[in-house]
Amino acid sequence: MKILVVGCGKVGSEIARDLAGSNEVDSVVAMDASSQNLRLLRKRVLGKLQTVKLSISQEPRFHALLRKVDLVCGALPGRLGFDLMTETVKAGKDTVDISYTPRDAFLLQGQAREVGCRVVPQCGVAPGFTNMCVGDASRRLDQMKSVGIFVGGLPEKPELPLNYRVVFSLEDVVNEYTRPALVVEKGKRKKVDPLSGLGYTSFPGVGQLEYFLTDGLGSLPRSYPKTREMHEFTLRYPGHADMMRTLQVLGFFERKSVKIGDVELEPRQLTIERLRGAMSHGSPEDFLALRVEVKGLSRGKKIHIRYQLLDHYNRRSGVSAMARTTAYPCTSVALLMGRAEIKETGIVTPESIAQDPKLFRFVTDRLSEHGVKMKMSTLS
């Protein structure tokens, strides 16, 4: 296989490094608009790697590059993810994408099936691996009644006042605080305010964390329309949500420009630039806490299935827990595609892949080989 990785930031660089280390991959082409990102990647990866400074907006060169590869892994910010998938479908290339894009990948369903390619959207950690856990649970149950997802990447040594350090695209972090969250309640889909649904939980190995609703269910409501309750929550240290809600109420996340004297500026962009510094303080060591709770019926009995994962910054490689847990589901699915294990064409959801126990086991085994260990328990 010759694989193109588009976007080589914190997560994309680990996608490229992991694929370059696989015996199943002949070569990796890493593409990014940032020379610095590519330079840092070349320091980490030896052999099998070619870097290209290029943007997807440079269509003629990008299309020429697509013709030379077998498969694409997308790791761009959410605002660009759908555009990338649109271009790869035009080129008929199988694609695994991790972007937190708000646009519906199923808009590309007809075209993808017509050209015979496969696209797995939102295949990072959440949405992505969390959806796989739900997919695995669905095959174990006769009826799935509720899904609760709790996930967050946090610094091991938090610093006041935000107690948070950015570990992926800051733009997408802000989207978690501003994008209306799709939930399912009493069998009905609805949008609710982000940062609502505030609560607290104790996570083993971490302690008390707060949680609040975010738009991270991805394709789950579409895949399981009979499930009556579905919610996805982001985990943070207590007090963080109130600070972000204050910024929201004061209009600091607004996209509409305001005029100050002779200058017009967008509050959201100003806030992102100010947060960039504030959310970069402290040491890089982080952890990723994840819990997926699925409840339902099996043979007439109430069953509660829990998937739990706690991963930490890898001090030897210098790779964050967020990058590890986001990259490896993506690379695992890319390898399955290369093996022709995913037969269905068109838009293929992470949860549908995991409904095949062999494929889900392949993903979890690869995560385990990288030291990312998920524990599943069943309660009745």
Task: Name which CATH class applies to 2-123+322-373.
Answer: alpha beta
Give the SS3 label for residue 238: coil
> Cα–Cα distance between 196 and 284 in angstroms, integer?
29
For 275-321, the pLDDT digits (tens) are 998 898 888 999 999 999 999 999 999 999 999 999 999 999 999 99
Query: How far apart, in whole angstroms, are the C-alpha atoms of residue 70 and residue 24?
Result: 13
Percent of the chain past pLDDT 70, that is, above it, reads 100
Of the candidates 158, 139, 165, 233, the one whose C-alpha atom is nearest the C-alpha of residue 194 is 233
> So where are the chain's domains?
2-123+322-373, 129-319
Q: pLDDT tens for residues 264-274? A: 999 999 999 99
**Under-70 pLDDT residues of the chain:** none
Question: What pLDDT does residue 50 have?
Answer: 95
Cα separation, 61 vs 292, whole angstroms: 42
Using alpha carbons only, what angle is made at residue 98 by residues 190 and 35, rounded to the nearest 5 degrees? 135
- For 65, the enclosing helix (H) or strand (E) is helix 59-66
Amino acid at 62: F
Check if the beta carbon of residue 194 is closer than 8 Å to that of residue 177: yes
Question: Which CATH number is correct for 129-319, 3.20.20.140, 3.40.640.10, 3.30.360.10, 1.20.1270.10?
Answer: 3.30.360.10
Tens digit of pLDDT for each residue in 205-214? 999 999 999 9
Contact 333, 120 (CB under 8 A): yes
344, 353 contact by CB (below 8 A): no
Dihedral, 113, 116, 122, 128 alpha carbons, nearest 10: 110
What is the model's pLDDT at position 170?
87
Q: Which two tokens stand for residue 77?
A: 């910010």
